[in-house]
Amino acid sequence: MIAVGAAIDATYGETLGMQYTIRCPKCGGEAAFEEPFLFPRGDEAVAAEHAAGVTGFRANKDCFVIVRFPDEFPWRDPDNSHTRLRLGPSLPPQDIWGVCVCPRCVFRGKHRLDWPKDAFYAASFSFGTLWAICREHLVELRDYIASSDRRLKGYRWAWNLKHTPKEFLLVRRRERIVSVLDRLLSQPVRTAKKLHPAKNRSR
């Protein structure tokens, strides 16, 4: 059962929108903001439907809805407006509901994303606050700011990097900003365990 759940996560993890790393509302630690529902289609829908430990239902002939956190965020939750839950890279999320999962204090609960206030990876300077969606984004942001040519080729987060406010790209501030970001990155990483509905229930 666990293997199937892990396979489901591996398969559908790719279909998730951005993975926001947020500050846990309970302990202040590094937590994940998870999308509560997934919408596999076609063969993937069939696989999900027959997989053990997956909670969900057939939405229509083509689509199966996986309810990832049936206890914390059931499908019939009044805040489930799933069309608004699809996070796109070009849209700053507003009023987006999901589930906060904290590996540090084991908190798991419904959470309204307040971005960028919720950002775990954030650094404040007198000229503004720099924030990153997740650790990988922060690594690229550090590399981008540190680079002298500021070329965007090869970055996964190129779109976001392109929109880095000018205040953070001034050459005279480069060294200071990079050292602050390096300090942020030197914090120990806590990786959330892979999630699947069967496991969710036992917690």
Contact residues for Zn ion (CB under 5 A)?
Answer: 24, 26-27, 29, 102, 104-105, 107
Cβ contacts of 84 within 8 Å, gap of 6 or more: 95, 96
CB of residue 100 to Zn ion, shortest distance in Å: 8
CB of residue 118 to Zn ion, shortest distance in Å: 13
Q: Which is nearer to Zn ion, 29 or 116 (CB)?
A: 29
CB of residue 24 to Zn ion, shortest distance in Å: 3
Q: Which is nearer to Zn ion, 112 or 162 (CB)?
A: 112
CB of residue 180 to Zn ion, shortest distance in Å: 24
Concatenated DSSP letters of 26-95: TT-SEEEEE-SEE--BHHHHHHHHHSTT--EEE-SSSBEEEES-TTTS-TT-TT--HHHH---TTS---S
Cβ atoms 119, 21 nearer than 8 A = yes
Name the percent of the chain in helix, strand, coil, to the closest 5: 35, 20, 45
Q: Which residue has the tokens 């404040």?
A: 124
Walk across the sheet containing 37-38 and list its strands: 37-38, 64-67, 56-58
* Cα radius of gyration (the chain): 19
Q: Which is nearer to Zn ion, 82 or 104 (CB)?
A: 104
Q: Which is nearer to Zn ion, 102 or 123 (CB)?
A: 102
CB of residue 199 to Zn ion, shortest distance in Å: 18
Q: Which two tokens stand for residue 197?
A: 């509905």
Q: Which is nearer to Zn ion, 68 or 111 (CB)?
A: 111
